[in-house]
Structure 1
Amino acid sequence: MPKPPYICTCGNIVPHGERCACQIARTRARNKRHDANRPSAARRGYNRAWRSARDAFLKLYPTCRMCGAPATVVDHIKAHRGDERLFWDRTNWQPLCAPCHNRHKQRQECGA
């Protein structure tokens, strides 16, 4: 039996498992505010040297550590937060596929 819809805080009835348009808009606005204050990827250290090291690492470790799918992302196990030493420490790197990085790993870092 399907689960019933819910009433959003804006008053709209939303099918179970979906998000209301107002929730999507709030999330986009919050992300836009966050990104406006965030330095560019190059300023955070993700430059040509990083891309070269990343490619070499993914050739050595081609599968996702979480699910075994082909890895496309080199993740920092412990967030480096601008620490160059931690950023380049290969023992702090792990291969992940994009879904695991974007879903599971980010959820872990947010504490959810």
Structure 2
Amino acid sequence: MKPVAPPRLCACGKIVASGERCQCQIINDRARKARHDRRRPSARQRGYNHEWRKARQEFLKHNPRCAMCGQLANTVDHIIPHKGEDRLFWDKANWQALCAHHHNSAKQREEHRPVQS
């Protein structure tokens, strides 16, 4: 049987069970993400328009499986983040099909990892 870590004390002073997050942390994360989203351009402003939706649908028709796990894909991911650069945005060699799980977790962690020199 795997040992269970003891509860911990949150910065707010509440005791939190092992492996769980304090309600104050959840609220703070939501507020931080909302601030970020208010400053972020809309999906349309970032290039995800009708033309992209058509190209995405066509790409997924020919690449229906997640590049990471082989499950059905529902997202076209830019391997190298385009950061608004049209050449990278539309370069199909820079696209990969991903399932929602891998796009929203593994890929995001990878992109936010500090660059090592």
TM-score clears 0.5: yes
TM-score, normalisation: structure 2: 0.92
Q: Which runs of 4+ in 1 moved over 3 A?
A: none
- What are the within-5 Å matches in structure 2 for residues 18-97 of structure 1? 18-97=20-99
Name the amino acid aligned to 1:29.
A
Count, aligned residues: 112
TM-score (norm 1): 0.96
What's the Cα RMSD here? 0.9
Shift of 1:106: 0.2
Partner residue in 2 for 1:12: 14
- 1:110 equivalent in structure 2: 112
Question: Unaligned regions of 5+ residues in structure 1, if any?
Answer: none
Q: 2:26 corresponds to which letter in structure 1?
A: I
SS, match of residue 33 in structure 2: helix
